[in-house]
Amino acid sequence: MSHFFLYITAALYAIATVIYTAYLFTRKDGTVIVARNIFLAAFASHTVTFISRWFEAGRTPATSLHESLTFFSWLVALLYVAILLKYKQKALGAFVTPFVLFLLITASFLPREIIPLPPVLESFWLPVHVALAFLGNAFFAVAFFLGIMYVIQERYLKSRKLRGLYFVLPSLDMIDELNYKCLQYGFALLTIVIITGAVWSEHALGSFWLWRPRQIWSLITWFLYAALLHGRITSGWRGKKAAILSGVAFIVLLGSFILINLVAGGAHGLSR
Amino acid sequence: MNIVIVGLNYKTAPVEIREKLSFPAQYIEEPLKRLISNYGLNEGVILSTCNRVEVLGITPDMEKGVWQIKRFLSDYHNIALETLDEHLYDRAGEDAVKHLLRVAAGLDSMIMGEPQILGQVKDSYGYAVEYNTAGVVVNKLYHKVFQVSKRIRTETKIGQAAVSISFAAVELAKKIFGDLKGKTVMLVGAGEMAELAARHLMGSGVKELLVANRTYEKAVEFVKSFCGTAIMFREYQHYLKNADIVIASTGASTFIIKPEQIKDAMKERKFKPMFFIDISVPRNIDPLVNEIDNAYVYDIDDLQGVVAANLDERKSEAVSAEKIIDEEIEKFYRWSKSLDVVPTIIALRQYCDEIRKAEVAKATQSLAGLSEKDKKVLDAMTSSIVNKILHNPIVHLKKDSSKVEGDLYIDTVRKIFELEARTEALNKANGDKD
């Protein structure tokens, strides 16, 4: 069931990506509305995929890398839907959709069997911890794309040659504000996740802090984002500087996630 | 009924000719009335702007209508038709409707998509209504025009990108700051161009206006109309940190706003973006300011470049606008063609005769034993009743069809007798014959 929907979802995201790309070139309002509607259809199908996988596995589907990427990409899409509802930012979709598609395609090439959950992970904390962690990362991912948008728009305005994407991208202020909000939410979630992770670790493994790679990298990204937010508040690291730094921080985050999962196997190496 | 337009515009006539042909708004009544009374048009509208003069008329005969309007223009302005003719263009029927729609949408304007023309078209229609030269066709036509123009404004981006320097500046400001509410503008030098830009910015919700001018009195005078604050020219540097938008237009021959000042101001304002507009020649703002993070400097040439880019963007939108016009034209033209008097009269006669025949047949059936002669009498009597009843309406339809209200009568008769389907069939039959 979930496999079938996974293909439909990926196909819809692919179509949406193509139309979003066409929009960036033609800049027709009609085109972006079609793209958005297909994106929303893809998101609905994505939701079905996720829920059916949940039933098939009988637990939160976020232990193998395949499941994690499907879940994470769903949260990124969900976040974009929320931004769309609140801020009506259509152009952002052209950046987020290909990313979601990329995550899903990667997920579809990874082994999909349902791995039995190791007993240490069987807990009320699993869905909470995992959902909050991925949601936090989704905020950072969206902040990353907003950063890219900012850098592009800033270049147009600095170069004083206005064409192409200048006409579709929102104002610098709007992008900067959204970027800041995403960082704030992402950081708050990351903080909660590190604390709940420690509590759970104490509960299941008897110690708050085990110096596992996952924990170390979480702490590193936490410090990175903390520094970024601190700079923003106290010394006016805004605009381009903030956009680039949020990009770097996200690349570190993504890199650590992939590395740890490939080296240690899913679920922080606890499933082995 | 036929719609014809005769006119000239910036493409076909130089300004020397255009100004001679213009109709000032305060004297529009007389030419409008003359157009109807002396030149055999049923309805008429005169559009006169600095870039075009166009006369629209509703006429029973296309060719004659065009000729009459040309004569009117020549007579009224006292210019020989031979000199005038080479500058005039004429459009009739569907082409005339299309032309009017394109004009109103700004597609025929010197600056593609400019919005003023729609207001001018609205005014020209307003005069025609006021002085009673607008009848049912003009009413319907202009309502169609306003509806289509609105559709074009909402469905395409033709009117969106700014095509004047001061509007371009406002738009750039919006791309940097998003909302201009709560922002502060500082003018360094209070020239005419600066005033225009300030006016547009204030119109977009800017909170505060600071004006520094070498003659302080002039700055004071300037802020009166804006409720801004005048500051001493030698002190403007201290206010830089408060200004989100700085417009420089002094007569100074060197750069007066330098990178060091802005670096300091930036630190104080925690690197909130600053937008510099330099409309002075020679320039007053050092272009190196643009190298500072979150500072954007545009001089007059840059703004002109922005305007050129916006114009290109508009041209691509024009294609979509033309498509909308083509769609809408067909609907309107079908209606206006039905307003011919002859098919309406034929249809009306047909309608009454059908009723008469049906009733006669019923009567003959119940009156058993009628002779052939009786039947003929019955037939003749009913026919003459119908003819007598219809006589006056038909005479009026024919006689008034060349007056302003003529089309209104036709339209009314067609509605109350429900002749739409019949006339359409008749028109179709005629069309097939052509």
Domain parsing of chain B, residue ranges: 2-155, 165-307, 339-433
CB contact under 8 A, A158 and B177: no
Question: In the sheet where B274-278 sits, what is the strand order?
Answer: B229-232, B208-213, B184-188, B245-248, B274-278, B295-299
Parallel, antiparallel, or unpaired: how do β-strands B2-9 and B52-59 relate? antiparallel
A53: CB partners within 8 A, 6+ apart: A2, A61, A67, A70
Q: Please count the other Cβ atoms lying within 10 Å of the Cβ belonging to residue A14.
A: 17
Contacts of B290 in chain A (CB under 8 A): 158, 160
Q: Which of A251, A252, A247 is nearest to A147 (CA)?
A: A247
Angle between helices A29-57 and A2-26 (to 10 degrees): 160
CA distance B223 to B146: 39
∠ Cα B426 B431 B433 (to 5°) = 100
Contacts of A238 in chain B (CB under 8 A): 270-272, 294
**Are B306 and B382 in contact, with CB atoms under 8 Å apart?**
no
**Are A203 and A123 in contact, with CB atoms under 8 Å apart?**
yes
CB contact under 8 A, B309 and A158: no
CA distance A170 to B155: 20
**Are B1 and B60 in contact, with CB atoms under 8 Å apart?**
yes
∠ Cα B176 B178 B182 (to 5°) = 105
Active-site annotation holder among B50, B81, B380, B381: B50
Residue B396 pLDDT exceeds 90: no
Q: What is the reported pLDDT for A271?
A: 45
Query: ipTM exceeding 0.90?
Result: no
b/e per residue, A92-131, with b = 16+ CB within 10 A? Answer: bbbbbbbbbbebbeebbeeeeebeebeeebeeebbeebbb
Contacts of B320 in chain A (CB under 8 A): 28
Chains A, B: CB contacts under 8 A, how many? 61
Q: What is the reported pLDDT for A265?
A: 54
Residue B212 pLDDT exceeds 70: yes
Q: Which of B128, B213, B11, B117 is nearest to B404 (CA)?
A: B128
Q: Please count the other Cβ atoms lying within 10 Å of the Cβ belonging to residue A235.
A: 12
Q: What is the reported pLDDT for A144?
A: 92
For B300-405, where are the alpha helices, taking DSSP H only?
A: 300-337, 341-366, 372-400
CB contact under 8 A, B296 and A157: yes
Q: Average pLDDT for residues B390-414, to the nearest whole number? A: 80
Query: Which class in CATH covers the domain with range B165-307?
Result: alpha beta
b/e per residue, B219-229, with b = 16+ CB within 10 A? Answer: beebbeebebb
CB contact under 8 A, B272 and A238: yes
Q: How far apart are the first and last CA of chain A?
A: 27
Per residue in B11-59, pLDDT tens?
Answer: 898 888 888 898 988 899 999 999 998 998 989 999 998 889 999 999 8
Taking the complete model, does pTM exceed 0.90, yes or no? Answer: no
Q: Which residues in B have their CB inside 8 Å of a CB on A?
A: 157, 161, 172, 174-179, 267, 270-273, 290, 293-294, 296, 298, 302, 305-306, 309-310, 312-313, 320
Identify which has the larger pLDDT, A263 or B131. Answer: B131
pLDDT tier for residue B434 given thresholds of 50, 70 and 90: very low
Within a 13 Å sphere around the CA of A14, how many CA atoms are in the beta-carbon half? 8
Contacts of A178 in chain B (CB under 8 A): none
- The shortest C-alpha distance from B50 to chain A (Å) reads 31
Parallel, antiparallel, or unpaired: how do β-strands B274-278 and B295-299 relate? parallel
- The shortest C-alpha distance from A187 to chain B (Å) reads 22
Contacts of A174 in chain B (CB under 8 A): 178
Which of B157, B174, B175, B267 would you mutate first to test chain A, the one with the most A CBs within 10 A?
B175
Per residue in B85-129, pLDDT tens?
Answer: 999 999 998 889 999 999 999 888 877 777 788 999 999 999 999
Active site residue B50: yes
A154: CB partners within 8 A, 6+ apart: A172, A239, A240, A243
In the numeric block, the tokens 């109103």 are attached to: B104
CA distance A141 to A228: 15
Phi, psi of B417, rounded to the nearest 5 degrees: -95, 5
Residue B380 pLDDT exceeds 50: yes
Phi, psi of B45, rounded to the nearest 5 degrees: -135, 135
Per residue in B247-302, pLDDT tens?
Answer: 988 888 888 888 998 999 888 888 889 999 988 878 889 989 999 888 999 988 88
Which of A169, A173, A181, A237 would you mutate first to test chain B, the one with the most B CBs within 10 A?
A173
Contacts of B172 in chain A (CB under 8 A): 157
- The shortest C-alpha distance from B22 to chain A (Å) reads 39
pLDDT tier for residue B190 given thresholds of 50, 70 and 90: confident
Q: What is the reported pLDDT for B427?
A: 63
**Chain CA centroid to CA B314, Å:** 17
CB contact under 8 A, A236 and B320: no
pLDDT tier for residue B165 given thresholds of 50, 70 and 90: confident
In the numeric block, the tokens 């009195």 are attached to: B217
Q: Among A160, A235, A239, whose Cβ lies nearest the Cβ of B305?
A: A160
Residue B426 pLDDT exceeds 70: no
**CATH 2.60.120.10 corresponds to the domain B2-155:** no
Q: What is the reported pLDDT for B338?
A: 63
Low-confidence ranges of chain A (pLDDT < 50): 271-272
